[in-house]
Amino acid sequence: MLKELARQLFRVLIYWLLQQRSCRFGRRDGLTASQKAANENLPGPFEPLENITAKFISKGLDIKDVVVLSGAHTIGFAQCFTFKNRLFNFKGSGKPDPRLDSSSLTNLQSMCPNKDASNTNLAPLDSPSPYTFDNSYYTSLVSNSGLLESDQALMGDSTAAALVNSYTYMAYLFNSDFAASMVKMGNVGVLTGKNGQIRKKCGPAATPPPMEVTQQAYTAHTGHGSVGPVIAVLAVITILGVIAGMIGRICSGRRIMGHGQYDFEGWVERKCSSCLDGRVDPPLARPADIPVAEPVKEEEPRDEGRRARTK
């Protein structure tokens, strides 16, 4: 049952987001929470409509928003203690609420017997379709089957009752007005900028770190720990740039530095000419004072027979 209720709540949220196009972001969570303030500002199930309307007006809302947002009770459940007085002792009379439909009264009395042990029992806020977001909540009010006293009180005000009747027949109007009222309510008491906080867990407020830890974290973030890698990268880029410039000047035949015995360019050219442009160094010249032996000519073989005949 709880899983199905969670699914329906999720569908309601998605439906609302799709129905309206002005969902604003950037809200922040408060730093504190107060049960007392919540009880004072949120309408209760036993309050008269006048009190509920006054609370809405103090937040910039109106009677229409009261009726529309009460339609959120089309899904969900309420504990018996929130409406049991209507079943057995309405306003100290010792009798049930005379406005409550008789068949609904019988069903609710079976779910919530007049015993303290039943106070936490659950009853659907919208018995025809407790798991569906629709307009049947308003149909129940028209037939005097509203669960909470604050729900059924809407039919006691002419303005509110007119809206209830219109939503009973026009579900699309309820959907549209519900989206608009949700946007209005979402703009009440918004915290932005540096006010409030962003909670990773919705329940408890996040505890800010001690001032010393915060200062250390700031120093570590802005000190040498973050500048060191930048300096190292710049140094590597500078060295590579110098080497690239030197190789470029050597390949183009220009000098960089030094002459004579400190002729660095000449030494690099002699050592790296073959790898730079494919040249081959010429052989070293021989000193002029070293005698060179001339090749020895071979004598022609003598023809002894020819000489004998000549003689």
101-142 residue pLDDT tens: 999 999 999 999 999 999 999 999 999 999 999 999 999 999
Binding-site entries for substrate: 43
| Residue 71, Cβ density class (10 Å: 0-12 exposed, 13-18 middle, ≥19 buried) | buried
* Confidence (pLDDT) at 304: 53
* Confidence (pLDDT) at 28: 84
Work out the angle between the directed axes of helices 158-169 and 63-70 (0-180°, nearest 10).
40
* Confidence (pLDDT) at 216: 44
CATH of 2-23+38-186, one of 1.10.420.10, 3.40.50.300, 3.30.70.360, 1.20.1530.20: 1.10.420.10
Binding-site entries for heme b: 73
Binding-site entries: 43, 73-74, 126, 134
Q: How far apart are CA 256 and CA 247, in angstroms?
A: 10
* Confidence (pLDDT) at 217: 42
| 86 touches 149 (CB < 8 A) | yes
| Domains of the chain, residue spans | 2-23+38-186, 237-277
Does this model's pTM top 0.75? My answer is no
Binding-site entries for Ca(2+): 74, 126, 134
Residue type, 268: V
| Residue 243, Cβ density class (10 Å: 0-12 exposed, 13-18 middle, ≥19 buried) | exposed
**Segments of the chain with pLDDT less than 50:** 21, 211-225, 280, 308, 310-311
| 103 touches 54 (CB < 8 A) | no
* Confidence (pLDDT) at 296: 54
* Confidence (pLDDT) at 219: 43
